[in-house]
Amino acid sequence: MMEPASAKTVLPPGVDVVRYADLPGIPCPCGSAKRGFMESPGIPFSLHITSISETARKHYHKRLTETYLVLECDRDAYLELNDQRLPLEPEMAVLIPPGTRHRAVGKMKVAIVAWPKFDPNDEWFDN
Domain with 56 in it: what CATH number?
2.60.120.10
Residue at 39: amino acid letter: E
Mean pLDDT by 10 residues, the chain (127 residues): 59 91 94 95 95 92 98 96 98 98 96 97 93
Note whether residue 3 is domain-resident. no
Q: How far is CA 94 from CA 42, 78, 80, 86, in A?
A: 25, 11, 11, 9
- Give the domain range for residue 61: 29-122
Other CB atoms within a 10 A radius of the CB of residue 74 amount to 12
pLDDT at 9: 84
pLDDT at 108: 96
This prediction's pTM? 0.89
pLDDT at 7: 60
Note whether residue 13 is domain-resident. no
Q: What is the largest CA-CA distance in the chain?
A: 62
pLDDT at 41: 86
Note whether residue 6 is domain-resident. no
pLDDT at 3: 45
Q: What does the pLDDT look like over 52-76, one tens digit per residue?
A: 988 899 999 999 999 999 999 999 9
Sign of the CA dihedral running 80, 81, 85, 89:
negative
Number of domains, the chain: 1
The Cα–Cα gap between 52 and 31 comes to: 5
Note whether residue 4 is domain-resident. no
In DSSP terms, which residues pair with 89 in a beta bridge?
none
